[in-house]
Amino acid sequence: MSGLALTLYGVTALTFMMVMYALERRHPRFILCFGVGCMLASSYGFLSGAWPFGVVEAIWSVIALRRFWSSRHTAEPAGPAVPGSHTGR
């Protein structure tokens, strides 16, 4: 990969990762996208020869994927949320 192409790939990957991080609170899918962005940034780190950066971003991608997985299980609705309604009585 040429130097310019690698630089453009890195800028794109890091920009995507940062935008997804900023949007994480809007929906759990953005957490998943942040994890993908971390994977892309990790590959950029390894391709550019900055292997410590690649390792750290790989770790962050695992953390983001675990956060996505746990957010899916806690964000599921428990039932209809109607104020003043009591079920089971």
More confident residue, 50 or 73: 50
pLDDT at 34: 96
Among 84, 30, 34, smallest CA distance to 63 is for 34
- Distance from the Cα of residue 61 to its chain's centroid: 7
Averaged pLDDT, 9-31: 95
HEC sequence for 50-76? CHHHHHHHHHHHHHHHHHHHHHHHHCC
Band of residue 4 on the pLDDT scale cut at 50, 70, 90: very high
